[in-house]
Amino acid sequence: MLRKIDQKQVTKSQTLKVPLEGDLGGSSIRFPAEWEPQSFVQLTWPHAGTDWADMLDEVSECFVGIAREIVKRERLLIVCADENSVREQLRDLPQDKITCVEIPTNDTWARDHGGITVMEDGKPVVLDFTFNGWGMKFPANLDNQITRQLFEKNIFPENVKYHNRLNFVLEGGSIESDGQGTILTTAECLLSENRNNLTKEEIEAKLKEYLGAERILWLHHGYLAGDDTDSHVDTLARFCSPDTIAYVKCDDENDEHYSELKKMEEEIFSFAPLGVGGIPLPMADAVYDENGDRLPATYANFLIINDAVLMPTYNSPKDEIARGQLQKAFPDREIIGIDCLALIKQHGSLHCVTMQYGASPNPSKGGEFGGHDLKSL
């Protein structure tokens, strides 16, 4: 995420001449929670043309670790520059669980350029929103075309619909769903004038129209030093169930985050009348880059997959504290640590590089779009 922006690249990503698709009139829309059954997870693999060039081996090792845990439980879709290179790195994994698709990319942050799955009348629909490099900070012209190209390459089964929502900027890391109509988000991000330049009421109307939101919980406090995303909620507070939010808590009054995270905690406590409680996650120990700048290490950036939770670790004693707290939040899932020190060097972590795609609870109804149905090229 460190490369400076080329305005031509941003402009291209925002002005794709594609008509909007998908009439929502009369349909029932639901934005699934991450803990619901999944078909597959998308990774967008790092390559020499990205900001990972000078540490490609180090970050690739992290991606291999993530891929290894995913394919034990579900299929894996990899967007990459060179399929042969990626498959060689994953040679010890079951190749029939992996679909690779060669598509040009700017970077690796699948959470924010990946398609967002909703259930429309019980069937999966992939929504393609505009990704503009976190408010026009970084190039996104290639990443912004990935989801549409996956459909053009017939990677998804025919029963999965594509809906063009490129008239609205929305990143997957900026929204959390409880699967029952509630969305958790941050004002700092969604109300950024460099994304949509809309009022809060207009933003809420879009979330209700496109994601079927019935209730939107806004956080007005909380941030992480070194974060490029304008306080994505997936770095701060996460739904673990309809009545539980895991959130980053800072106990050190001398830490620069203390005041803002304390205020965020109070906001989460204010949701109690709505039947929502919180489980605190420790503030990760400070990690700095070679210039002395603090990096955005956070335990909230975990990924929920089928039967497990992949949790970022940072070679710290706090890793085990965070693991224990997440086990309380997910008593029926295995909590698996993934060393993400490499990822935070480019100002993201585990959830940021992944995007899950859901599955219908009843595949016989035609809502499944995973398993062997994920097509290979």
Q: Terminal CA-to-CA distance of the chain, rounded, Å?
A: 30
The reported pLDDT for the residue numbered 374 is 57
Length, in residues, of the chain: 377
Sequence-separated (6 or more) residues with CB below 8 Å from residue 92: none
Q: For residues 83 and 367, which has the higher predicted lDDT (pLDDT)?
A: 83
Q: Is the pLDDT of residue 4 over 50?
A: no
Banded pLDDT at 25 (limits 50, 70, 90): low
Distance of alpha carbon 182 from alpha carbon 114, whole angstroms:
21
Domain boundaries, the chain: 28-373
Which pTM value belongs to this model? 0.91
Beta bridge partners of 279: 246
The reported pLDDT for the residue numbered 26 is 56
The reported pLDDT for the residue numbered 359 is 76
Give me the catalytic one of 62, 189, 240, 352. Answer: 352
CA distances from 291 to 267, 288, 302, 314 (A): 34, 8, 27, 19
Widest CA span in the chain: 56
Percent of the chain surpassing pLDDT 90: 84
Helix or strand run (H / E) with residue 187: helix 187-190
When pLDDT is averaged across residues 342-348 and rounded to a whole number, the result is 97
- 240 annotated active-site: no
Q: Is the pLDDT of residue 290 over 60?
A: yes
Q: Is the pLDDT of residue 248 over 70?
A: yes
CATH class of 28-373: alpha beta
Q: Is the pLDDT of residue 1 over 60?
A: no
SS3 92: coil
Q: Are 77 and 151 in contact (CB under 8 A)?
A: no
Distance of alpha carbon 139 from alpha carbon 161, whole angstroms:
28
Q: Distance from CA of residue 96 to its chain's centroid?
A: 25
For residue range 294-326, list pLDDT tens digits in order: 999 999 999 999 999 999 999 999 999 999 999
Q: For residues 2 and 347, which has the higher predicted lDDT (pLDDT)?
A: 347
Q: Are 82 and 47 in contact (CB under 8 A)?
A: yes
For residue range 43-68, list pLDDT tens digits in order: 999 999 999 999 999 999 999 999 99
**What integer best gives the mean pLDDT of the chain?**
90
